Amino acid sequence: MKALVVFESMFGNTEQIAQAVAEGLRASMPVDLAEVIDAPADPPEDVTLIVAGGPTEAFSMSRSNTRAAAAGQGGRPGRQDVGLREWMEALPPRHSNARLVTFDTKIDKMRHLPGSAAKGAAKAGRRHGFDLAAPPESFFVRDTAGPLLEGELDRARAWGQWLGDLSGSSEDHPAGDLGRD
């Protein structure tokens, strides 16, 4: 078993969540961590779990125009062309035993509004034939540029550990509400 954690991050918040998830997963399996612009377009055959995450922008996965706007607000430049949406669309049809799980970061005050990059990515993954290992998960930031809310990194680490233990366990979800549709 091996996991691939792929993330898109303009301000570094989603990257921190991805790193914490990867840390939690490492208790159960080897993990490769890759920013979406460097992630393999065709995940290796030995990958059994793909964890993909990005920021929720305009109620879904980012687009080139929302990434350009984020760069204009102080986000990292040079990331306008490829985001989670484009990476998910380029995935080949499922060809291995890999399962998919998705996460996003959202602004806390938008917590109850519809739309989620994680749900959009899960839907894109299902279109490519991937089975979902768990429901999409959201992690929260104070504002567009962050910071993460207190406790979110610990929650992400626990979620990663739970994901790693999923294959042999039926324990309850440690992050609380799964945000099921």
pLDDT tens string 2-22 = 999 999 999 999 999 999 999
| CA-to-CA dists, residue 62 to 10, 45, 66, 169, angstroms | 10, 28, 6, 34
How many residues are recorded in the chain?
181
* Of 44, 30, 37, the residue nearest 92 (C-alpha): 44
Residue 181 lies in a domain: no
Residue 137 lies in a domain: yes
Residue 179 lies in a domain: no
Which residue range forms the structural domain that includes residue 103?
3-168
pLDDT tens string 36-56 = 999 998 999 899 999 999 999
Residue 33 lies in a domain: yes
Beta strand 99-107 with 3-7: parallel, antiparallel or unpaired?
Answer: unpaired
Q: Are 64 and 80 in contact (CB under 8 A)?
A: yes
Predicted confidence band of residue 95 (pLDDT cuts 50, 70, 90):
low
Which residue type does 46 have?
D
Residue 174 lies in a domain: no
Residue 180 lies in a domain: no
Which residue type does 136 have?
P
Instruction: Reply yes or no on whether the pLDDT at 180 is more than 50.
Output: no
How many domains does one find in the chain? Answer: 1
Q: What is the CATH number of the domain that holds 154?
A: 3.40.50.360
**Structure tokens of 54?**
């990005």
Predicted confidence band of residue 133 (pLDDT cuts 50, 70, 90):
very high
Residue 20 lies in a domain: yes
**CB under 8 Å to 14, separation ≥6 — which residues?**
7, 8, 53, 54, 55, 104, 105
